[in-house]
Amino acid sequence: HLKVIRTFDMVTSAPEKLSGQAADKMQAGVILLDFMRRELNLSNSSVLGACQKLQEAVGLPNLAPRYAIDAPADAPDGSSRPTLSLSALLKQYGIRLTANQAYHQMAKLGIVEQRERYSRTAINNIKKFWSLTAK
């Protein structure tokens, strides 16, 4: 408990120092991100991800959207489009299936496939997820 008390005292007694460090990190991050966006032609979803990491690094609340889908560059509605989960789409269109049932139906049609990735928290360190196929 003593370590927690000391940490609390350090943070509350030196807010100017911590906020100055955070401001410097934020400024450096914004400059680097702007350079990378222009020079590497980063997609909007890449910029969004970088902004989220930057906010987290300096201790700001995450006010950005959770994710974006990049549309083709010539899309008339901009470079990112709004997205919904499969569950939300099924509900919106009155389809009486669970997302799991819908994914299995789409798998039979070859539209999606179940894939795996490493995860520290999943059972046996394997996380399964659905992925669109090239079809």
Does 120 fall in a domain?
Answer: yes
Average pLDDT over residues 81-98: 88
Task: Provide the pLDDT for residue 18.
Answer: 47
Q: What is the pLDDT of residues 32-84, one digit of tens each?
A: 888 888 888 877 778 888 888 888 888 877 777 666 666 666 766 665 666 78
The domain of 77 spans 2-81
Taking 70 as the threshold, does the pLDDT of residue 6 lie above it?
A: no
This prediction has a pTM of: 0.45
Residue 12 CA to residue 55 CA, distance in Å, equals: 21
Same domain for 61 and 11? yes
Q: Do 25 and 63 reside in the same domain of the chain?
A: yes
How many domains are there within the chain?
A: 2
**CA–CA distance, 98 with 85 (Å, rounded to integer):** 12
Rounded mean pLDDT, 25-33: 86
Residue 24 shares a structural domain with residue 62: yes
Q: Judge if 66 and 126 occupy the same domain.
A: no
